[in-house]
Amino acid sequence: MTRIDLHTHSSVSDGTEPPAEVVARARAAGVDVFALTDHDTAAGLKEAAAALPPGLTLVPGMELSCAYRGSSVHLACYLFDPEAPSLAAELRRIRDDRVNRAKEMVRLLRAAGVGVTWEQVRDIALNGGGDGELEAGVVVGRPHIARAIGAAGAAEDVQDAFDRWIGSGGPAYAARYALDPVRAVRAVREAGGVCSLAHPARAEGTLTGAVPVELAERMVRAGLGGIEADHPSHDEAETERWRGIARDLGVAVTGSSDDHGALTGHRIGVRTTAPEEFARLIEPATGAEPVTG
The confidence band for 130, taking pLDDT boundaries of 50, 70 and 90, is very low
- Per-residue pLDDT of 64-81, as tens digits, reads 999 998 888 999 999 999
Q: How many C-beta atoms surround the C-beta of residue 190 within 10 A? A: 16
pLDDT at 133 exceeding the cut of 70 = no
Element spanning 76, H or E: strand 71-78
How far apart CA 257 and CA 286 sit, in angstroms, is 25
> What one-letter code names the amino acid at 180?
D
Say what the pLDDT of residue 205 is: 41
Which of 205 and 31 is assigned the larger pLDDT?
31
Neighbouring C-beta atoms of residue 60, cutoff 10 Å: 26
136-177 pLDDT per residue, tens: 567 888 989 999 999 999 999 999 999 999 998 899 999 989
- Cα separation, 240 vs 188, whole angstroms: 27
What mean pLDDT is predicted for residues 206-224? Answer: 84
The arithmetic mean of pLDDT across residues 13-41, rounded, is 96
> What is the rounded average pLDDT for all residues in the chain?
92
Give helix then strand counts, H and E, for the chain. 10, 8
Q: Determine the pLDDT at residue 202.
A: 65
Please tell me whether residue 134 adopts helix, strand or coil conformation: helix
Give the pLDDT band of residue 132 (cuts 50, 70, 90): very low
